[in-house]
């Protein structure tokens, strides 16, 4: 299959290039292809002639989105529309990567793919708008919602926790923000299987299970063999300038029905720590 990836220099884009190495693949980072430039995007996708376009390009810095919601919409919504329109004109299917933050976090159990959305921050609103324009623009689409991505390519949550320990000697962590840490290597493999189907629609793809930010950090420290004082706090006490959904675990129902599942988050984290952080477990 001929595949084109936007945002290929990010964590997920990097993992997808490995997972899809058996395909004919064209990859673009932001410097080479800006998804907000509709004309350039149409030209590039038309010239490449892909059968599938995977849109990993996004503004994911939630604080930056909150500070400039118009720019968040430009990248995450209008950029998504540009990709969808270019894919449609080229006769290609599209995978659009979205987020658990399209939900408000008030549900007492995991969110199904058909649950009502209600984003509570600028990032979530822009990603939700991106989902909507993809659905409106292109019938042959996969919208993949995921959460708490980490993996090779840049310092992510595990590395940041270990760096904070080295610098501060203690941690202050939130107990009431709950979701599923998702290793980009596993997510990329799941997407690689998904695009082999024509079962278009919206999917939740995360590593299995859920935890709080504090529980995730505790597992990182356990695997690294590090013992430091941890102060428990809440989202309200932490005082983040960005509203966060408290419990935004995603239920992977539709993909599981196709036989596509991801391993438990603890197991994925153990592999990540062994390979990329060098921890012994």
Report yes or no: 195 and 258 within 8 Å, Cβ to Cβ: no
> Between the CA of residue 135 and those of 50, 102, 132, 166, what are the distances in Å?
19, 15, 5, 45
Q: What is the DSSP string of 117-155?
A: P---SHHHHHHHHHHHHHHHH-SSEEEEEE-SEE-TTS-
CA–CA separation, 163 and 192 (whole Å): 32
> Between the CA of residue 222 and those of 109, 219, 228, 249, what are the distances in Å?
27, 5, 10, 23
Active-site residue list = 123
Report yes or no: 104 and 245 within 8 Å, Cβ to Cβ: yes
């Amino acid at each position: 299959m001929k595949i084109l990836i936007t945002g290929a220099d990010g964590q997920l884009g990097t993992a997808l290039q490995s997972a899809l190495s058996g395909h004919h693949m064209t990859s673009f980072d932001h410097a080479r292809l800006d998804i907000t430039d509709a004309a350039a995007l149409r030209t590039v996708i038309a010239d490449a002639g892909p059968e599938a376009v995977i849109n990993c390009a996004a503004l994911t810095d939630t604080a930056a989105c909150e500070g400039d919601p118009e720019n968040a919409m430009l990248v995450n919504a209008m950029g998504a529309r540009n990709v969808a329109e270019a894919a449609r004109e080229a006769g290609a299917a599209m995978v659009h990567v979205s987020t658990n933050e399209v939900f408000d976090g008030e549900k007492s159990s995991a969110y199904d793919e058909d649950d009502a959305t209600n984003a509570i921050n600028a990032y979530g609103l822009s990603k939700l708008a991106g989902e909507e324009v993809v659905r409106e623009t292109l019938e042959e689409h996969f919208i993949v919602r995921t959460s708490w991505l980490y993996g090779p390519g840049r310092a992510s949550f595990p590395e940041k926790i270990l760096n904070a320990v080295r610098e501060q000697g203690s941690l202050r962590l939130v107990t009431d923000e709950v979701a599923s840490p998702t290793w980009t290597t596993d997510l990329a493999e799941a997407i690689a299987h998904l695009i082999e189907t024509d079962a278009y629609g919206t999917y939740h793809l995360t590593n299995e299970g859920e935890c709080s930010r504090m529980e995730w950090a505790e597992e990182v420290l356990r695997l690294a063999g590090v013992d430091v004082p941890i102060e428990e706090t809440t989202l309200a006490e932490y005082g983040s300038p960005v509203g966060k959904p408290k419990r935004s675990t995603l239920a992977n129902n539709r993909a599981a029905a196709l036989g596509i599942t991801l391993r438990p988050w603890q197991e994925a984290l153990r592999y990540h720590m062994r390979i990329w952080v060098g921890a012994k477990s």
